[in-house]
């Protein structure tokens, strides 16, 4: 029998792609999204239309709900009784957290608290939730691996994601809720977020406008193609977190616990220089970028790089999309979708 999976942030970049992967596997999927205007809701509705156009739409339902509405979540979970929950809904963006911190407190802390509560009270068998590579903060010890301390966030967004990990661990400890936290590393590809560098760069390059290149281009990111990310999340859904039988409280492993809670990096493990990414995007679009080199921005980090060996051992996850192919596919989608 198919299982019932709730995906929050279902109209988002990763969420909408994951929904299609789950539906194709035979799951019944319930999508939740508040369709807010942090970026153009028309793109979110276009992603939902992609789901509606699939042959699996009979197994799909969508609810426009904000996670801050605990009563609405309670009503939905009581009626549907999902076995698996994938929480991707959040107020995203590092720089925006400097402008509107309240949005992060409400969505990422209050909203996630409501998710934990409905999972606790309605017998959810596995919660998979989005953390972020930003929790590593100003750490310069690359690549990042899950046993490293993450006690020095450099943005409120990162702090809320660290808080989510602590909150989920507590619910695993108190109520036995199996929970898996995934630290995402710079996801890119078709249907991406307009506030992220690939979309910002593509729009400006094709419009003949300068692109802002922070830290004078001396940045490195572990760009990870959307299909690889989705496959990793999908596999995690199938393998609930378990307690680490070898957990030593005198020498605790930050990535596991004596309770069913685990943390994993999910990235490409092949970081590239920002200037190389720009070069590939220029080639794919057939236009040279006008570059406006600027200093480092508050809340940003110089480099990210994921050690994903733990996730590979856990679910056999290994990214397979070369950056050259991923950027080309993104550029083709961008020109087609925006008709430029």
171's tokens? 């619910």
What is the token pair recorded at 320? 């397979």
Residue 126's H or E segment, with its range, is strand 126-132
Q: Count Cβ neighbours within 10 Å for each residue of 268-300 and write b for 16 or more, e otherwise.
A: bbebbebebbbebbbebbeeebebeeeeeeebe
Which residues are paired to 266 by β-bridges? 184
- Residue 257's contacts (CB-CB under 8 Å, 6 or more residues apart) are 169, 172, 173, 243, 244, 247
The catalytic residue among 96, 157, 171, 188 is 157
Burial grade of 238 (CB within 10 A; 0-12, 13-18, 19 or more): exposed
Q: How far apart are CA 232 and CA 209, in angstroms?
A: 36
Instruction: Check: CB of residue 205 under 8 Å from CB of residue 282.
Output: yes
Q: Quick one: DSSP state of residue 109? A: I
149 Cβ contact partners less than 8 Å away, ≥ 6 residues apart: 254
- 256-259: Cβ within 8 A, 24+ apart: 257/169, 257/172, 257/173, 259/169, 259/172, 259/173, 259/176
Can you tell me which residue has the tokens 């508040």? 34
Active site residue 39: no
Q: Which of 231, 217, 316, 220 is nearest to 14 (CA)?
A: 231
Annotated catalytic residues are 157
């Amino acid at each position: 029998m198919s299982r019932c999976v709730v995906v929050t942030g279902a109209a988002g970049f990763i969420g909408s792609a994951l929904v299609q992967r789950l539906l194709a596997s035979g799951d019944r999927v319930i999508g939740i999204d508040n369709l807010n205007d942090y970026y153009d809701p028309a793109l979110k509705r276009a992603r939902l239309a992609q789901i509606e156009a699939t042959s699996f739409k009979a197994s799909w339902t969508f609810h426009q709900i904000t996670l801050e509405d605990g009563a609405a979540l309670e009503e939905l979970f009581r009626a549907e009784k999902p076995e698996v929950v994938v929480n991707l809904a959040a107020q995203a963006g590092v720089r925006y957290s400097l402008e509107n911190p309240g949005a992060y407190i409400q969505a990422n802390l209050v909203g996630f608290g409501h998710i934990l509560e409905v999972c606790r009270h309605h017998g959810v068998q596995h919660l998979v939730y989005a953390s972020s590579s930003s929790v590593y903060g100003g750490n310069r010890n690359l690549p990042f691996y899950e046993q490293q301390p993450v006690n020095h966030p450099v943005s409120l967004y990162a702090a809320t994601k660290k808080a989510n990990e602590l909150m989920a661990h507590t619910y695993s400890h108190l109520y036995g809720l199996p929970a898996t936290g995934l630290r995402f590393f710079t996801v890119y590809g078709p249907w991406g977020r307009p506030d992220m560098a690939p979309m910002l760069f593509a729009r400006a390059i094709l419009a003949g406008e300068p692109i802002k290149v922070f830290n004078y281009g001396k940045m490195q990111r572990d760009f990870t193609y959307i299909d690889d990310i989705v496959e990793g999340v999908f596999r995690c859904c199938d393998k609930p977190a378990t307690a680490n039988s070898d957990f030593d409280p005198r020498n605790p492993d930050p990535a596991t616990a004596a309770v069913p809670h685990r943390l994993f990096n999910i990235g490409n493990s092949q970081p590239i220089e920002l200037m190389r990414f720009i070069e590939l995007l220029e080639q794919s679009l057939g236009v040279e970028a006008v570059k406006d080199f600027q200093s480092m921005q508050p809340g940003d980090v110089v480099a990210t790089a994921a050690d994903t060996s733990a996730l590979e051992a856990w679910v056999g996850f290994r990214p397979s999309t070369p950056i050259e192919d991923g950027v080309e596919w993104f550029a083709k989608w961008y020109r087609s979708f925006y008709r430029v």
